[in-house]
Amino acid sequence: MVRIEAKTRSGLPYPRTPERAGFFFSGGIDSYATLRANRLNFPLEHPWSLRDGLVVYGLEIDVPETYQLVVNMLQEVAPRAGLTLVPVYTNLYLNYRHEDARNHFSFWKYEFQGAVFAAIAHAFARRLTVVSVASGDDIPNIYPYGTHPLLDPNYGSVDLRIRHDGVMRSRLERTRLIAEWDLALQHLRVCNQIRRYRPGGLNCGQCEKCVRTMLALLALGALNRTDAFPEKDITAELIRSAVEIDQDVIHYYQEVLPHLEARGRDDLARAVRQKLRESQGGGWKRKAGQWNRKYLRKCFRKLVALLS
């Protein structure tokens, strides 16, 4: 969908940009975990201490009012976390978003996102020398994706390093970092249902991603300590009604099960196990649909329609 046009140059940039680190800051589990791990491992004066958080409009969020709600929330976090918040506006993906939506955003997910993050990072090459992209998965569960630890660093250059961060931690381990940091716990945004955003409420508490995150926080004993979600508990009925487990998130649910059982929440563990059985066993039609969307992009359905 995109033609690559890359300029080359010889020689180092002069004068050299002073060492300064930044990262893409969405307010979700992965980006907060990148920030928290950085703060635990580097003193603020260290060159690799994260100084700038890039908040991007035009990728996941394309509604100005919604984007402003996210910026407003993260502006409450930035000074207390020792960050400069940097709002970024781009149309790199907006030109393709409508067409990509018809293919379940497979172009963005499997091909484009790492390149877009790198392009945005390079726009700040006179300010930043290293930019971190938070990983969505850990090593045992990683698979070919548009942002990947073997891909992202190759988008760097002599004057800007691109890091794929956090691949050594599972999603539950990253969530534990957030659960131990009240600032992030109170200013968490995981919901993709951006049309439901409202001032003071950026998580609907009803979608699969919200429920998945709430489960992890509950398993860690932290859900009742955050005001980021409408409720401080989860019911088995909510899991049954809201959760459909795709193949790429099965491990998120598997790793919370022993923690739920250890906290005496057998009701939730049973509901999760039932959803896992549906996903791994009798859900062959859904698996075929996912495979079709990922690899054939509905071609199989079109072929069946032509033959029938």
Q: Which residues on adjacent β-strands are paired with residue 87? A: 55
Q: Are residues 54 and 146 in the same domain?
A: yes
Q: Are residues 126 and 26 in the same domain?
A: yes
Which domain CATH number covers 132? 3.40.50
The tokens of 146 are what? 């548009």
Q: What is the pLDDT of residues 242-279, one digit of tens each?
A: 998 888 899 999 999 999 999 999 999 999 999 999 98
For the chain, how many structural domains are there in total? 2
Does 67 fall in a domain? yes
Would strands 130-134 and 21-24 be described as parallel, antiparallel, or unpaired?
Answer: parallel
When the pLDDT of each residue in the chain is averaged and rounded to a whole number, the result is: 90
pTM: 0.87
The pLDDT of residue 292 is above 90: no
Amino acid in the structure at residue 163: R
Domain of 128? 21-165
Q: What is the pLDDT of residue 147?
A: 95
Q: Which residues on adjacent β-strands are paired with residue 131? A: 22, 162
| Contact residues for 140 (Cβ-Cβ < 8 A; gap 6+) | 251
Q: What is the pLDDT of residues 72-105, one digit of tens each?
A: 999 999 999 999 999 999 999 988 888 998 988 9
Does 57 fall in a domain? yes
Q: Are residues 138 and 243 in the same domain?
A: no
Q: What is the pLDDT of residues 129-172, one digit of tens each?
A: 999 999 999 999 998 999 999 999 999 998 899 999 999 999 99
d(CA 114, CA 152): 6
- What pLDDT band is residue 220 in, cutting at 50, 70 and 90? very high
The pLDDT of residue 68 is above 90: yes
